[in-house]
Amino acid sequence: MGLMIKQQRDGTLRPQWYGVYTEGGERKVVNLDVAIRGTPPASLSLRDRGDDRFERSREDAKNALASFVTEASHKGRVEHLTERLIESKSGVAPEYVRIADLLAKWTAGGGYSPGYLGECRAVFGRFVAFMQTRNPRAVFLYQVKPSDVSAFAAAMRTTLSPRTCAAHMGILRPAFSNFLPVGAANPFTAGKKAKRKSAANQSEESIHRIPFSPQELQDLLSATSDDPFMAGLITAAACTGMRRGDVCGLKWADVDLKAGIIAVKSSKTGAQVEIPIFNPLRTVLMACQGNKSEYVFPEAAKMLAENPDGLTYRFKKIVAKTMEGTTPTALPSSTPPADVEAAGIAAISKAIDAGARRDRLLDTLKRYCAGAGVRRIERATGRARSSVSTDLHAVEDLMGTPFLRGQTGSNIKASIARLTRSARKQGQRAASTRDWHALRTTFVTLALSAGVPLELVRRVTGHATVEIVLKHYFRPGRAEFKAALTGAMPAVLTGGKPKRLKPADELAALSGKLAAGTATAEEKDRFRKLAAAV
């Protein structure tokens, strides 16, 4: 293996270095695509030295030749035959991309947001590190096996949430598809047609959003009386069942106040939906008229683009403040650490399957109960401070009671964690159960509970699984559609007069409010009258 410089027929030097190596007993010469720089020796013999620039280009050529020979040895005979066939047909030689170079290849060309680039660095870095441990002999993409991918996915599930795992695979899968040589199977798509898990197993692993009751929804809307921005958005989401993005991106072109209908395409499925405009929503829309924007809620559209998590936090903050009276208070400061530790261990063991996450939560809890703070646990374990804090709050969620030192039951972040999230058996991040999408769940639940035909509800939500049914078998007129929903939905959404409960049901509801200490003077008076009549 060595270098050579070539001359043209007229005696001038060719501008690139060439390399010479042996493969299968055959001498091969390859253009290394490394420019010859500086002044070569007068003899043109590589036994002699040229100037400094020439010698530096010689070193670059040596490195390029070594890399080329290494790559050629990994390709093997079958890959070379495939390469020759492809090159003869297309005129372009296939490229064999290294696993370590996938990030640079995938993000080449720019145009990506800083957030996406950061996510890519984390995903590809995690995969490269995993492959170096599991299968260090795999250098190129085509050497990654489906079993490697399955093992990588299993390793991720021990520390990451299902959603994060899916996001990782959603980045790696197309990256492999783009840079695998022609004819090579993508290991990330192997087994994609495998039989799905049974409905029973799926229900055990899924954590569904919790719908608000009519009274909770009324309390939620009342809590936004001093926040017009959130009041309008929550009213729109509750009265339409639309997703957060569709509410924030609602345009005046999709609103027909005269007909009392919103006709818009779902941003997620592309399905056309039609939604009656109930009176509370009409009031909001009338107040927004004349805002000189194509959007009904221009501030929300801007915030959705710049800070979507801010919208979620503001909503969850309202939920926490509204429902705080029903949450447990912090453990008394006199509670012995041993009691906290015992309760925490029991909660963790019951909710979290055996594995790395359970071991980490138990270790963090025991260190904390032994007197170590977050910073000391960080130094002792090497885990990031944010991860330690996340683990401690996850234990609080599992116990249903805050125990962190210096924390009180009125802490808004602790309230948000208790009221809007639920810990998972797998993954680090808790599932969100009371967020914007819970309003969509609320709309569907209330409608179906009120006896609204399923076809009408699906026409509002635009679920893709029933598009064929709606298109070919069910096309009611707008007037009947609107009348059916308006007559069946609760007054909190339609703006009509609320239906009075039966005396026995009303008495039970008022008893619960008296016990919780949330009954108003009017409700206390009503309770006395009902009790006297019994």
Distance of CA 145 to the CA centre of its chain: 26
What is the Cα–Cα distance from 419 to 414, expressed in whole angstroms?
9
CB 273 within 8 A of CB 460: yes
User: Any idea what DSSP says for residue 404?
Assistant: -
Coil, strand or helix at 28: strand
Amino acid at 458: R
Q: What is the DSSP letter of 251?
A: B
Q: Which amino acid is at 379?
A: R
- Quick check: 16 and 35 in contact, CB under 8 A? yes
Note the pLDDT of residue 475. Answer: 42
Sequence-ordered list of residues with C-beta below 8 angstroms from that of 63, at least 6 positions apart, any chain: none
Position 239, amino acid: C
- Strand-by-strand arrangement of the 261-265 sheet: 255-256, 261-265, 272-276
pLDDT score for 326: 44
| Both tokens assigned to 119 | 């996510």
**In which residue are the tokens 């090159």 written?**
87
- Per DSSP, 401 falls in state S
For residue 187, what are the contacts with CB-CB under 8 A and spacing of at least 6?
144, 145, 146, 148, 149, 176
| pTM, to two decimals | 0.47
Q: Please report the pLDDT score of residue 472 as a whole number.
A: 37
Query: Where does residue 169 rank: exposed (0-12), middle (13-18), buried (19+ CB within 10 A)?
Result: middle
CB-CB contact of 144 with 187 (8 Å): yes
Helix or strand run (H / E) with residue 4:
strand 2-4
C-alpha angle 252/258/261, rounded to 5°?
Answer: 65
How would DSSP label each residue in 131-165? HHHH-TT--BGGG--HHHHHHHHHHHHTTS-HHHH
The rounded distance, in Å, linking the Cα atoms of 209 and 439 is 9
* pLDDT score recorded for residue 234: 92
Per-residue pLDDT of the chain (534 residues; tens, 9 = 90+): 789 888 888 888 888 989 988 876 778 888 888 899 999 998 888 889 999 999 999 999 998 888 887 776 655 444 555 555 555 555 555 677 889 999 998 988 777 777 788 888 989 999 999 999 888 888 888 889 999 999 999 888 877 777 788 888 989 999 998 888 766 788 998 755 444 444 444 444 456 677 888 888 888 888 887 788 899 999 999 998 888 899 999 999 999 999 999 998 877 667 788 889 999 999 999 999 989 999 999 999 998 888 888 888 888 888 888 876 544 455 555 566 788 899 999 999 988 888 888 899 999 999 999 888 888 898 898 888 878 888 888 888 788 777 876 654 456 777 777 777 777 665 556 778 788 888 888 887 777 666 666 667 777 776 554 443 334 333 444 554 565 566 666 777 767 666 566 676 666 666 666 666 677 888 778 877 876 765
At residue 143, the pLDDT reads 87
Q: What single DSSP character describes residue 324?
A: G
Closest Cα partner for 381 from 397, 405, 359, 398?
Answer: 359
Tell me the helices (H) and strands (E) count for the chain, helix number first: 24, 8
Strand-pairing partners, residue 20, are 2, 29
In which region does residue 406 sit, left (phi positive, over 0), alpha (psi from -120 to 50) or beta (all else)?
left
Query: Residue 31: enclosing H or E segment and its boundaries?
Result: strand 26-35
Q: DSSP E strands: which ranges in 332-408?
A: none
Closest CA to 57 of 40, 74, 71, 79: 40
Rounded to 5°, angle at Cα 212 from 279 and 304:
70
